[in-house]
Structure 1
């Protein structure tokens, strides 16, 4: 019976967050200090990207990159980027579930950390707080799957 319990434990899906960390951080304010003397009417552009790689065994690194460019009129006020990363222990999932976990679930965990880091960085640059809206990573993942399927059908 102990052997059956051990086998059941090995087959049950497991997910565990091991570590969250900043992999890379960048801030540039090319028009400082002149930009601080202008009327503030920002235009915010956000780029979001994720990538993952398998580490040893069942450990995976997922990196969420948020890149923000803020312009005031025609001038770039600042450019800020954070690569928020996490190490996750994931095992016992089928390929589709693993793909969804790495592509949507893990980035969803990392986003609040990345958003807070980016906001703190912008405020330290003496700009108003940057309050990014929540992101639906499940919807983004579904869109990417649909895009890949459409590209596959177009190639076939």
Structure 2
């Protein structure tokens, strides 16, 4: 068996969007909005030994039942992964790759929200091993409320 190969080919912002459906009226409210953050990880084998791993963050802020803003960013990485035992591939793609991509996502989410004129939302550190294990057990994607 050849030596294992794990190379980062590229990390890139795949998608970003921000909506303010109730502006400008909602911006005049003095009440603090509730913040809900959803995170997800998706991996796809795009070629022999080449995987795209995407980490998505959706941040929604609301005052009562009205949305202040809804931001979604999808950060992706292309990884060359070869000669890894099959029983370890899930962990490499579901834990190691998202850990590399996530810091870029955190920065892009904070930047997008700040450039829209809001205080930045800083995504917390994530334990991707725990998230992966939950997904393996059929649990839903974690939701973080601040």
Normalized against structure 2, the TM-score is what? Answer: 0.89
Residue matched to 2:19: 28
Structure that is richer in strand per residue: 2
Two-structure CA RMSD over aligned residues (Å): 1.5
Counterpart pick for 1:13 among 4, 23, 45: 4
Residue matched to 1:151: none
Larger relative contact order, structure 1 or 2 (CA cutoff 8 Å, min sep 6): 2
Rounded to whole Å, the distance in 1 between the matches of 2:35 and 2:79 is 32
Rounded to whole Å, the distance in 1 between the matches of 2:126 and 2:31 is 26
1:62/1:107 contact within 8 Å kept = yes
Rounded to whole Å, the distance in 2 between the matches of 1:122 and 1:83 is 14
**Within 5 Å, which residues of 2 pair with 1:1-156?**
11-147=2-138
Unaligned runs of 5+ in 2: 140-146
Normalized against structure 1, the TM-score is what? Answer: 0.83
Secondary structure of the residue aligned to 1:31 is coil
Per-residue deviation, 1:53:
1.2
Structure 1's consecutive aligned runs of 4 or more residues displaced over 6 angstroms after TM superposition are: none
Rounded to whole Å, the distance in 1 between the matches of 2:94 and 2:75 is 14
Size of the alignment, in residue pairs? Answer: 139
Rounded to whole Å, the distance in 2 between the matches of 1:64 and 1:132 is 12
CA offsets 1:51-102 (integer angstroms, 9 cap, x no match): 1111222111111111111112332100000111110011111112111111
Secondary structure of the residue aligned to 1:22 is strand
Unaligned runs of 5+ in 1: 1-9, 149-156
Structure that is richer in helix per residue: 1
1:41/1:73 contact within 8 Å kept = no
Work out which of the two has the higher radius of gyration on C-alpha atoms and give 1 or 2. Answer: 1
Per-residue deviation, 1:40:
4.3
